[in-house]
Amino acid sequence: MSARRHANGNTESVDNYLKAILSLGGPAEARVTIKALADRLRVAPASVTNMLQKLAAAPAPLVQYERHRGVQLSGAGKRRALEVVRHHRLIETFLYQVLDYPIDEVHEEAERLEHFISERFEERIAAKLGNPEIDPHGHSIPTMEGKMPERESMLLADVEQAGTFVIDSVSDRDSGNLKLIEACGITPGARLRVRKAAPAQGYSVSIGRSSKAFDLSREVAQDVRIVRLAK
């Protein structure tokens, strides 16, 4: 992977912009609006516009930005974004598996460390963990070559009828929701049965072979990705 610093002056702020654009653009690499980026990063739209203009005008542009049309990552920007995501998810996995961090604490710790680890440290973490393909939340870990395996899944919050699913991943952005999700037994690979679906209000679900149902709000359901089991 590339060196720790790039021609635009690698900073935590730049990395966070690149990661957010990668996430919001999704597998289709759709253009991301200023509003969506401002909401994700919790900064003023004017600050977002200013940063994107700088990144687009740099000698080695990290983004492709057009006023009123939003932003996409350049080839260099995508490589850096995937590199930082790889660091983040490897660190989360190391903290969880080796250092026994609680699942709801690994995200913030990884956020602090992801920008600064060396290639040697990255390689040693990956080797120690057996070159994992997913992190503790069920998210794919980009490869050393900067490839992100694609996985088909849907949000629990998009389910409209009862059915049986396998939990693909859970969001790590809200530690409170994550703690609740874990307490309910909602973990990657577990079977989840939707007993009642009311997308506007919430869901009644059960986990595994348990007959005990519990309710999840729509907000929490937005943090769970699932795959429908074939009938």
**Of 174, 148, 7, 16, which is closest to residue 82 (Cα–Cα)?**
148
Scan for tokens 């690979």, then name that residue.
Answer: 189
Please check whether residue 177 is in contact with residue 171, taking contact to mean a CB–CB distance below 8 angstroms: yes
Boundary residue ending a domain (84, 115, 150)? 150
Number of structural domains in the chain = 2
Q: Does one domain contain both 68 and 3?
A: yes
pLDDT, residue 132, reads: 96
Scan for tokens 């120690």, then name that residue.
Answer: 128
Boundary residue ending a domain (125, 150, 175)? 150
| Residue 42, both tokens | 């919790």
Q: Does one domain contain both 98 and 196?
A: no
Q: Does one domain contain both 142 and 158?
A: no
Residue 103's CATH number: 1.10.10.10
User: From CA 152, how far away is CA 157, in angstroms rounded?
Assistant: 16
The phi-psi region of residue 29 (left if phi > 0; otherwise alpha if psi is between -120 and 50; otherwise beta) is: left
DSSP string, 136-179: TTSPBPPPTTS-------EEGGG--S-EEEEEEEE--S-HHHHH
Q: Does one domain contain both 136 and 187?
A: no
Q: Is the pLDDT score of 215 beyond 70?
A: yes
Q: How many residues does the chain have?
A: 231
pLDDT tens sequence across 16-37: 999 999 999 988 899 999 999 9
User: From CA 63, how far away is CA 83, in angstroms rounded?
Assistant: 16
Q: Does one domain contain both 72 and 160?
A: no
Q: Is the pLDDT score of 86 beyond 50?
A: yes
pLDDT tens sequence across 134-148: 999 999 999 999 898
Give the number of other CB atoms < 10 A from CB of residue 231.
5
| Residue 10 or 65, more confident | 65
Q: Which domain holds residue 169?
A: 154-228
Query: pLDDT category, 10, cuts 50, 70, 90?
Result: low
pLDDT, residue 231, reads: 63
Q: Does one domain contain both 162 and 209?
A: yes
| Residue 160, both tokens | 């409209």
For residue 115, count CB atoms less than 10 angstroms from its CB and return exposed for 0-12, middle for 13-18, buried for 19 or more. middle
Provide the terminal-to-terminal Cα distance of the chain, rounded to the nearest Å: 42
Please check whether residue 183 is in contact with residue 137, taking contact to mean a CB–CB distance below 8 angstroms: no
Q: Does one domain contain both 60 and 140?
A: yes
Q: Does one domain contain both 92 and 38?
A: yes
Q: Is the pLDDT score of 4 beyond 60?
A: no
Q: Does one domain contain both 163 and 119?
A: no
Scan for tokens 């516009």, then name that residue.
Answer: 49
Boundary residue ending a domain (128, 150, 172)? 150
pLDDT, residue 211, reads: 85
Q: Does one domain contain both 12 and 115?
A: yes
pLDDT tens sequence across 149-184: 888 899 999 999 999 999 999 999 888 899 999 999
Pairing verdict, β 154-155 and 224-228: antiparallel
Residue 200's CATH number: 2.30.30.90
